[in-house]
Amino acid sequence: MTTETRVLSGRYRVDDLIGRGGMASVYRGYDQTLGRTVAIKILRADLAGDAAFRTRFRLEAQAASRMAHPTIVRVFDAGEDVEVGVDGNERPVPYIVMELVHGRLLKDVIAGGPVPIDDALRYVDGILEALEYSHRAGVVHRDIKPGNVMITDSGRIKVMDFGIARAVSDSSSTVAETTAIVGTAAYFSPEQAKGESVDARADLYSTGVVLYELLTGRPPFRGDTPVAVAYQHVSEAPVPPSELNDDVPRALDAVVLRALAKDPFQRPQDAAGFREDLDATVEGKEPTKRQMSALSNELYGPNPRQAAETARSLRQLSTDTTMRRTQPGPPVAWIWAGVAILAVLLVSVLLWVVQIQPSNDVPTAGRTIPDVVDMSYDQAVAALEEEDLSAKRVDVADESIAAGNVVRTTPGADTSVAVGQEVTVYVSTGADTATVPTLEGITESEARSALEAAGLSLGLVQRQPDPALTAGVVISASVASGIEVAKGTTVNLVVASGTVVINDYTQNYPVDVAQRELESDDKQLTVRTQEDPGCPATTPALVKTQSLAPGEVPVHSEITLTYCSGS
């Protein structure tokens, strides 16, 4: 008994299962229209039952499909089919069609322990290259983790599942629920763990977690439950990677700790900046221990482990068996005196740690910067003036904040500053836009140059037969010319293949029928007919041979049809 082959939407054949995750199953598939092998991700039935989720999922998948970059797994299509369940009722089957990548998941590489420093930097640089492109396109991944990164057989990085995490997280109400669907909480940013809105800097935090795990073989925070891990992301300082792996240079410690800053404004502000920080570690001078301590205090506050470190030093001293005696008898009194002194020091350190805990009280000579994000500039100035602070305006492009509203301030909200402090207020000018140039009728290379000059990106190039155009001439674009779009937007093209497809006319085709078809507007070929007196004539005259083989032939070709004319 054979199993019927499953075909989605009459186009995508579903073949063998190649992976299964918490959200979907992935199958090897075949696009019967374009004749190519693909990967097909089919969503879980419980997610598919939510109509609002299916809408969000389709929109996010469509946004991801506009991205075309070597470090990103391409999304070719997204759709919805139906299937009949065991209860006889129809149910929706949302799916996405992706590029099929041959290689290994990064999580399988990390499972073997810390990777060499050079490999770790190369892998993370590939992730950041993908994020640099996607963030320019306005797409935040939200679920960067080793399970969403592939290393191809040629050693390239491919990041997958762009946009899907947003559709899922918008459908979830709690950290625990989101974690069960999107992935492990080990890679959450603090703002994700707290359920706050996120931007591109959340992806940079998650990338910092991946870098930490590559260097040490383990994530910075671990716990028995996702909520316990999320709490650590929000409130605890990570151990520097070099304390877990002696091969990690302190220069990398500094980069990792800054990427894992709780405050997004203390992290690298974009993927390009993160990549520059990594590049600087290759030839840069390593920071001193004092500089590392200052950086840790800047990012995470006073170190709560100091008392524990002092206690551990005391235990190590009291159990050290390598010290040789220089006295004729056991110096018991001295040992007890030393223990007493260290005990006093320990108590002093504990008191110091308690006393330096940050206070919520603002000194009378100081002011607290109010949160003015998404206010109009005039409202922000008024709010700052109420705190006896001055404002300095800087305009920046931002797609997520309405033009004229505040994007952020420096210093940030809730920071204590002196009276009269000048606060830099970054005001949105809206999305940085560009006008789509006229692309139809020019060559593919000319179109690429025109898009780059306009600040746009060339996306998918689909080749299509057109009997009137030579190879490479643009037939149409996914965005009409003259339209204003955000800079970095990807524009897909349909270009002429320079060929037309002809049939096998030797299969009982009358000569006049074949000639009409070949000279039609769809083919536009030049047809010549030739008699063959060596074989008996038929009525009507049938094509015996054709000078061009069936399949694709160059446009405006000449073809000769031979037919029998003998007696």
| Cβ(42)–Cβ(27) below 8 Å | yes
Residues of the chain with CATH 3.30.10.20: 366-427, 433-497
Q: Which residues, listed in sequence order, are joined to residue 309 by a DSSP beta bridge?
A: none
- What's the length of the chain? 567
Q: Which H/E stretch holds residue 15? A: strand 12-20
494, β-bridge pairs: 462, 476
Q: How far apart are CA 202 and CA 191, in angstroms?
A: 7
Is residue 144 a contact partner of residue 127, using CB atoms and an 8 Å limit?
A: yes
Can you give the pTM of this predicted structure? Answer: 0.50
Give the SS3 label for residue 434: strand
Q: Which amino acid is at 457?
A: S
- The runs of H, that is alpha helices, within 375-462 are 377-386, 444-453
Task: Characterize 349-361 residue by residue with b for buried, 16 or more Cβ atoms within 10 angstroms of its Cβ, and e for exposed.
Answer: eeeeeeeeeeeee
Residue 322: the pLDDT is: 38
State which fold the 1-100 domain adopts: Phosphorylase Kinase; domain 1 (3.30.200)
Q: Please give the angle made by the CA atoms of 541, 543 and 546, to the nearest 5 degrees.
A: 150
Return the CATH architecture of domain 500-566: 2-Layer Sandwich (3.30)
Residue ranges, CATH 1.10.510.10, the chain: 104-307
**Best CATH choice for the domain 366-427 from the list 3.40.50.300, 3.40.50.150, 3.30.10.20, 3.60.110.10:** 3.30.10.20
Task: Quote the tokens at residue 377.
Answer: 């500039």
**Where does 104-307 sit in CATH, by number?**
1.10.510.10
**So what's the pLDDT on residue 125?**
92
Tokens of 299: 């990012």
Q: Which CATH number fits domain 433-497: 3.30.10.20, 3.30.70.600, 3.40.1440.10, 3.40.50.740?
A: 3.30.10.20
3-class state of residue 525 by DSSP: coil
d(CA 524, CA 419): 80
Does residue 247 have an active-site annotation? no
Question: What pLDDT tens digit does each residue of the chain (567 aa) get?
Answer: 445 678 888 889 999 888 876 677 889 999 888 888 999 988 877 777 777 677 767 776 776 777 778 888 888 888 888 877 767 777 888 888 888 888 888 988 888 888 898 889 999 999 999 888 888 877 888 888 988 898 988 888 998 877 554 544 444 433 334 433 344 678 888 888 877 778 889 899 999 999 999 999 888 888 877 777 877 888 888 888 888 888 888 888 888 988 998 888 888 889 898 988 888 887 655 555 555 555 555 555 544 443 344 334 333 433 444 333 333 444 445 465 666 677 767 766 666 655 555 544 444 557 888 988 888 899 889 888 888 899 999 988 777 787 888 989 988 888 888 888 899 999 988 777 889 999 999 999 999 999 999 889 888 888 888 898 999 999 999 888 888 887 888 899 999 989 988 988 988 889 999 999 999 988 999 999 999 999 999 889 999 999 999 888 999 999 999 999 987
pLDDT at 279: 85
List all residues 6 or more positions away from 179 whose beta carbon is below 8 Å from its beta carbon: 185, 188, 226, 230
Reading the block at residue 345, the tokens are: 């020091």
Q: Which of 143, 161, 253, 398 is catalytic?
A: 143
3-state SS of 364-394?
CCEEECCCCCCCEHHHHHHHHHHCCCEEEEE
| Closest of 404, 407, 409 to residue 425, by C-alpha | 409
Q: What angle do CA 526, 532, 538 make, to 5 degrees?
A: 95
Sign of the CA dihedral with 175 first, then 181, 185, and 190 last: negative
